[in-house]
Chains A and B, each alone.
Chain A
C-alpha cells in the first residue's frame, strides 16, 4: 500500500486516537482509517464517482425547478429538495477536487412532475449507496449523508 504509507505517521495516528478517546464529537475528526484508503487507482475512481454524484445532484435541482414551474403548488414540497441537492453538489464538487464554478451546467430537463423528481432522487440514493464501499475514509461520510438524505426525500415525496 505505497500510497498510504506517507500518511501513516505513528505519532499522528496516536494523536488522533487520543482525540478519539477524549471527545464525543468524533464525526468532525479526520478518521484514523484514512490510512486504510485504497491506493491511487481506487481513489481516482471514487473521485470520478463523487463528481458524477455532484452532477446528478444538480440535475435533481433542475428537475425540481421544472416541476415547480409546471405546477407551482409543488413549491413547498420541492424547494427544500432543490436547495439540498445544490448543497450536495457543492460539497461533492469540493470533495472531488473540482474548482468552484467549474461544474458543467446541467442540460435543461424536460417537463417534470413530482413522480419524475422522486424517481430521480431515488436513483441518486441508490447510486450514492453504491459509491459507499469504494469511497475513501475521508469521502465516505459525505457520500453516506447524501444517500441518506436522498433516500428519505424519495420516501417523503410519495
Chain B
C-alpha cells in the first residue's frame, strides 16, 4: 500500500503510518465546519425568505443535516478524531435584511461548502473519501444552482463550482 509518508510533516508527528493522514483529517474537519456554517445560514435565511423559498430551504437543511451527521461519524468513528463544534454564530458576507440578501447568504454558504468538499477530494488518497467529497460537491452544486437562479445570478450553474 502506498502509504504517504510525506504527510508526516513536523506538525503531525502524532500520526502514525496506519492512520488517515493529518492533512486529510484537517480537510474533513473544514468540511464539517462548512456544514455547521451552512446549517446556521439556512436557519437564519428562513426568517427572511418567501414561502416557496422556505420549502426549498427546509429540504436543503435536511440534506445538510445528513451530510453533517455522516462527516461527524466519519471523524469520530473511522478517524478517531474529535469533530469540530459549530460556532455560536457566524458573520454573513453581507447583512441579511430581506429575501435577496438571505438568498445571497445561501449562495455563499453552498459555495463555501463545495470548496471545502473539493478540498476533501484533493487531500484524500482514499477512494471512498474522494467519492464522498465528489458526491457532496454534486449535491451542493444542485442546491447552489437553485439559489443562484432565484437570486438572478448568471450563470445559474457555476462553471467551476466552489470557486468564488
Contacts and interface: CB of A to CB of B under 8 A. Distances in A.
Interface string A17-57: 11011001011000111011010000000000000000000
A72 interface: no
A132 B6 contact: no
The number of chain B residues touching the other chain, given as a range, is 35 or more
A38 B142 CA distance: 31
B118 A141 contact: yes
A140 B119 contact: no
A33 B162 contact: no
B156 interface: yes
A91 B163 CA distance: 14
Chain B interface, >50% SS class: helix
A70 interface: no
A83 B119 contact: no
Interface stretch (B62-70, B77-85, B99-107, B121-129): B121-129
B59 to A, nearest CB: 15
A73 interface: no
A145 B163 contact: yes
B86 interface: no
Q: What secondary structure prevails in chain A residues at the interface with B? A: helix
Interface string A99-137: 000000000000000000000000001000100110001
A59 B21 CA distance: 39
A4 B9 CA distance: 15
Contacts of B125: 33, 36, 137
A152 interface: yes
B124 A33 contact: yes
A61 interface: no
A32 B7 contact: yes
A141 B121 contact: yes
Interface in B128-164: 130-131, 133-134, 137-138, 140-142, 144-145, 154-163
A33 B21 contact: yes
A151 B141 contact: yes
Contacts of B141: 148-149, 151-152
A140 B142 CA distance: 20
A1 B2 contact: yes
B50 interface: no
Interface string B80-124: 000000000000000000000000000000000011001101111
Nearest to B12: A17
B51 interface: no
Given A26-B119, A36-B6, A132 B134 contact: yes
A83 B156 CA distance: 12
A86 to B, nearest CB: 9
Interface string A66-90: 0000000000000011011001100
21 contacts: A17-B12, A17-B23, A21-B11, A27-B115, A27-B118, A31-B122, A35-B4, A36-B6, A36-B7, A36-B21, A84-B159, A91-B160, A132-B131, A144-B118, A144-B134, A144-B137, A145-B162, A147-B137, A148-B134, A149-B157, A149-B160
